[in-house]
Amino acid sequence: MSHAAVIGRSLRIYHAPARRPGLDAFHRRFLGPGDLAFDVGCHVGDRAASFLRVGARVVAVEPQPRLARALRFMFGRNPGFSLIQALIGASEGSGVLRLNSANPTVASASAEFIAAAKGAPGWEDQVWDAELPLPRITVDALIATHGMPDFVKIDVEGWEAEVLAGLSNAPRALSFEFTTIQRGVAEACISRLTALGLRHFNACLGESMEWAFPAPVGAVAMAEWLRALPAEANSGDVYAALEPASLAA
CATH number of the domain where residue 146 is located: 3.40.50.150
Q: Is residue 97 part of a domain?
A: no
| Confidence (pLDDT) at 5 | 80
pLDDT tens by residue, 77-101: 999 999 999 999 999 999 999 999 8
Judged on CB neighbours under 10 Å (0-12, 13-18, 19+), 24 is middle
Q: Is the pLDDT of residue 34 over 90?
A: yes
pLDDT tens by residue, 148-203: 999 999 999 999 999 999 999 999 999 999 999 999 999 999 999 999 999 999 99
Q: Is residue 62 part of a domain?
A: yes
Q: Is residue 119 part of a domain?
A: no
pLDDT tens by residue, 197-225: 999 999 999 999 999 999 999 999 999 99
Q: Of 135, 193, 198, which is closest to residue 164 (Cα–Cα)?
A: 193
pLDDT band at 1 (very low <50, low <70, confident <90, very high): low
Q: 183: domain range?
A: 3-92+135-242
Q: Is residue 108 part of a domain?
A: no
Q: Is residue 184 part of a domain?
A: yes
Q: Is the pLDDT of residue 3 over 90?
A: no
Q: Is the pLDDT of residue 6 over 80?
A: no
Residues 6 or more apart whose CB falls under 8 angstroms from that of 10 comprise: 43, 44, 104, 105
Number of domains the chain contains: 1
Q: Is residue 190 part of a domain?
A: yes
Residue 172 to residue 196: CA distance in whole angstroms = 11
Q: Is residue 113 part of a domain?
A: no
Q: Is residue 186 part of a domain?
A: yes
pLDDT band at 130 (very low <50, low <70, confident <90, very high): very high
| Confidence (pLDDT) at 230 | 96
